[in-house]
């Protein structure tokens, strides 16, 4: 059994991850850390093989560093932070970090198709739409998609109640447009990707690895 701790366990994503881990035969939920529960990450690290982090942009790096220093692998879904200090552990870190701005398979495919299309169409723009409690803008998924596509790709961010996570990539050329759209209508859309990352993070060839496409 892999012992899994969840940082941000009282949040929208963290609570969904706790339920997914509890539902998996090969995984054991070994700790829930969240200031809202009065439990610090440091309190649960000892009993974990892997920690899943869905917290806030200003805590994700600190949490990932604490995991690596403790020899605990980290799977991070939190967006809007810079992971470059994690490279300072060098080629043989005490533990691995896997980061994905989006754990939904459909979103990974949307990005892949948009990158391919951008090689052939003149211009593109991205509209990303999320619930109004999301702290970062543009979304990690939109930033990553734009980074991988050809040319300058402007991003427009919409924040409204009723939305979960959605992205539209619109490509334009003479007399035509192409629209590639992905919708996460429920947070369970991210769970197969999160469980895959939990099972694979211990055997990564390098760390950090960024993007679910590297595990598919
Ligand atoms: N990668 C993906 O597929 C994906 C999907 C959805 C959301 N996200 C990202 O996940 C993050 C969380 O989103 P959410 O909607 O669940 O937010 P949320 O606000 O519902 O939950 C965040 C939780 O983290 C807790 N927290 C804050 N500091 C902490 C710390 N130091 N240690 C432990 N817990 C701490 C908060 O108390 C809160 O309960 C955001 O960055 C969001 O963009 C990623």
List, in order, residues 6 or more apart from 42 with CB less than 8 Å away. Answer: 66
Q: What is the pLDDT of residue 158?
A: 98
Q: What is the pLDDT of residue 33?
A: 98
- For 37-65, what is the mean pLDDT? 98
Q: What is the pLDDT of residue 176?
A: 98
- Residue in 3, 68, 59 with CA at minimum distance from that of residue 34: 59
Render pLDDT for 147-175 as a digit per residue (tens, 0 to 9): 999 999 999 999 999 999 999 999 999 99
Render pLDDT for 140-151 as a digit per residue (tens, 0 to 9): 999 999 999 999
Using the mean position of ligand 1's atoms as its centre, give its distance from the Cα of residue 66 in Å: 17
Active site residues: 130, 134
Q: How confident is the model at residue 62 (pLDDT cuts 50, 70, 90)?
A: very high
Ligand 1 neighbourhood includes 55 CB (under 6 angstroms): yes
Using the mean position of ligand 1's atoms as its centre, give its distance from the Cα of residue 61 in Å: 13
Render pLDDT for 78-132 as a digit per residue (tens, 0 to 9): 999 999 999 999 989 999 999 999 999 999 999 999 999 999 999 999 999 999 9
Ligand 1 neighbourhood includes 101 CB (under 6 angstroms): yes
Query: In Å, what is the CA distance from 25 to each residue of 19, 76, 140?
Result: 12, 22, 31
Whether the predicted model's global pTM rises above the 0.85 cut: yes
Cα(178)–Cα(133) distance, integer angstroms: 30
Containing 170, the helix (H) or strand (E) segment is strand 165-173
**Mean pLDDT value across the chain:** 97
């Amino acid at each position: 059994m892999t012992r899994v701790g969840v940082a941000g366990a009282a949040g929208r994503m963290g609570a969904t991850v706790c339920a997914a881990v509890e539902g998996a035969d090969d995984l054991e939920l070994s700790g829930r850390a969240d200031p809202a529960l009065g439990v610090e990450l440091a309190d649960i690290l000892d009993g974990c093989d892997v920690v899943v982090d869905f917290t806030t942009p200003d805590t994700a790096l600190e949490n990932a560093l604490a995991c690596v220093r403790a020899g605990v692998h980290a799977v991070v879904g939190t967006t809007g932070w810079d992971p470059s200090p994690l490279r300072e552990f060098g080629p043989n870190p005490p533990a691995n970090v896997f980061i994905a701005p989006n754990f939904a398979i459909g979103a990974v495919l949307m990005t892949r198709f948009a990158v391919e299309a951008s090689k052939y169409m003149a211009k593109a723009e991205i509209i990303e739409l999320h619930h109004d409690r999301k702290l970062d803008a543009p979304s990690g998924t939109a930033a990553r998609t734009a980074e991988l596509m050809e040319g300058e790709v402007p991003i427009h961010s919409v924040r409204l109640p009723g939305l979960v996570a959605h992205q539209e990539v619109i490509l334009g050329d003479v007399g035509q447009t192409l629209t590639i759209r992905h919708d996460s209508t429920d947070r369970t859309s991210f769970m197969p990707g999160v469980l895959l990352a939990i099972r694979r993070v211990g055997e990564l060839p390098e760390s950090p690895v960024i993007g679910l496409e590297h595990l598919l």
